[in-house]
Amino acid sequence: MADVISPEVRPARKADAAPDPAQRPAFDVIELFFFAYRDFVRDADEALAKYGFGRAHHRVLHFVDRNPGLRVTELLDILKITKQSLGRVLRELVDEGFIVQKEGEADRRQRLLHVTERGDRLARELARLQTRRVSRALATAGAQEAEAVRRFLFEIIDPEERAKVAALTGARPPKARE
Amino acid sequence: MADVISPEVRPARKADAAPDPAQRPAFDVIELFFFAYRDFVRDADEALAKYGFGRAHHRVLHFVDRNPGLRVTELLDILKITKQSLGRVLRELVDEGFIVQKEGEADRRQRLLHVTERGDRLARELARLQTRRVSRALATAGAQEAEAVRRFLFEIIDPEERAKVAALTGARPPKARE
DNA sequence: GAGATTACGTCAGCCATGTTGACTTATTTC
DNA sequence: GAAATAAGTCAACATGGCTGACGTAATCTC
């Protein structure tokens, strides 16, 4: 391999110091976010592997556990994936007895999603693992700092999505903090 | 489909209120983290699509841009993926002229990674998009609150990884805050 | 009551990005 | 000179996204 060394080289590094601090790239937060998320999902991934499940199953199980009677359409809107993608993982969760679908009483087209006892156990075990990590990370934070973390995460979310997320998580509604 | 309604139903919801608040599941933070990350990567994903690139390319480009002369082994350790996975993505970035590899001077086995002018431009454009989102989210936060966010993200990371991340991001070193 | 719409499911095929395992080449280290 | 290291590559496979096209049952609307 003779052409490994290319004549085209990287220009000298630009100084990180831009005039306006708001315009200086937030490299630190960007990278921390990447590393934090990478490790955040790891606990659950390992636990899920025992069941032959993946991250996609976790998400479905989690939101169904937290929102019993959830409609399929609502779940699609939460996860922002297609019906076909959801279909696969949902079928597996139903087949393995973690989720059941109950016909809607008012609207019999609906297949309202509920976890089984088994599904509830797994969902809570996964939540426990992630809670342990979150609790440790917030252990040294005061109430105000913990609230600052929640607010930061909330405001990273697309503005049009916030009302929905607030309703789901119990976070304060958007714009309600002035 | 006659067996939609299963006899197995979900048990009555357990109250969220556990005795010890540290043991109560941190559903809010868990869910906010999921939604925040989902939207955080979206800006860049859209920009990358124009080049036929994906998230994997972004990660490589980002860390090479930030760490000129990075060794392949180091990059693998940062991304926590296999050599084969990286290989594909890296080859594409090299082929399209975003990254060049330079033989190490001290150790000629090394293929030190550098971005090209073009790679630098794209990396910075992507960083700009994510910085915009981060800046908005931190706009109402004070210095102490912004620091609380960084600390939270840092402490979500696996303890054994923190020293490395601190070195990369310039975050304060682990345990250095007492 | 007929027709449009909605809720849900499914078949088929494709793509991006991860994995394991085996092996090669060049170079450095001991 | 042998062993270890840095990097690359081939092949095969899994997961979880996607699009497009359809089907069925139920509800809504006029």
Which positions 61-90 of B are in contact with A (Cβ < 8 Å)? Answer: 62, 66, 68, 80
Distance A77 CA to D23 C1' (A): 23
Binning pLDDT at 50, 70 and 90, where does residue B178 land? very low
Q: Which amino acid is at A134?
A: V
Is the CB atom of residue B50 positioned under 7 angstroms from any atom of strand C? Answer: no
Say what the pLDDT of residue A16 is: 56
Helix (H) or strand (E) holding A66: helix A55-66
Residue B80 buriedness (CB in 10 A; 0-12 / 13-18 / 19+): exposed
Binning pLDDT at 50, 70 and 90, where does residue B14 land? very low
Interval B83-93: pLDDT, tens: 999 999 999 99
Looking at every residue in chain A, the average pLDDT score rounds to 88
Residue of A nearest to B134 (CA): A156
Is the CB atom of residue B107 positioned under 7 angstroms from any atom of strand D? Answer: yes
Say what the pLDDT of residue A21 is: 61
- Taking an 8 Å cut-off on Cβ atoms, the answer to whether B30 and A120 are in contact is no
Say what the pLDDT of residue A32 is: 98
Helix (H) or strand (E) holding B144: helix B143-156
CATH class of segment(s) A40-139: mainly alpha
Say what the pLDDT of residue B19 is: 55
Dihedral, CA atoms, A102, A56, B55, B45, nearest 10 degrees? Answer: 10
**Distance between CA atoms of residues B142 and B125, nearest Å:** 27
| A13, A102, A150 member nearest B28 (Cβ) | A150
Residues of chain A with CATH 1.10.10.10: 40-139
Distance B76 CA to C30 C1' (A): 27
Nearest CA to CA, how far is B93 from chain A (Å)?
Answer: 14
Q: Which residue is nearest to nucleotide C18 (CA to C1')?
A: B85
Residue tagged 């790679």 (tokens): B119
Looking at every residue in chain B, the average pLDDT score rounds to 88
Say what the pLDDT of residue B15 is: 52
Decide if B59 touches A, using CB distance below 8 A: yes
Enter the CATH code of domain B37-138. 1.10.10.10
Checking if the pLDDT of B146 tops 90, the result is yes
Is the CB atom of residue B110 positioned under 7 angstroms from any atom of strand D? Answer: yes
Q: What is the mean pLDDT of residues B66-93?
A: 98
Chain C positions within 7 A of any protein Cβ atom are: 6-13, 16-22, 26-29
Q: Which of A107, A105, A89 is nearest to A52 (CA)?
A: A89
Other Cβ atoms closer than 10 A to B36: 23
Hits for CB < 7 Å against strand D across A residues 74-113? 80-85, 88-89, 106-109
Q: Which residues of chain A have pLDDT under 70?
A: 1-22, 172-178
**If DSSP codes are grouped into helix, strand and coil, which group holds residue A139?**
coil
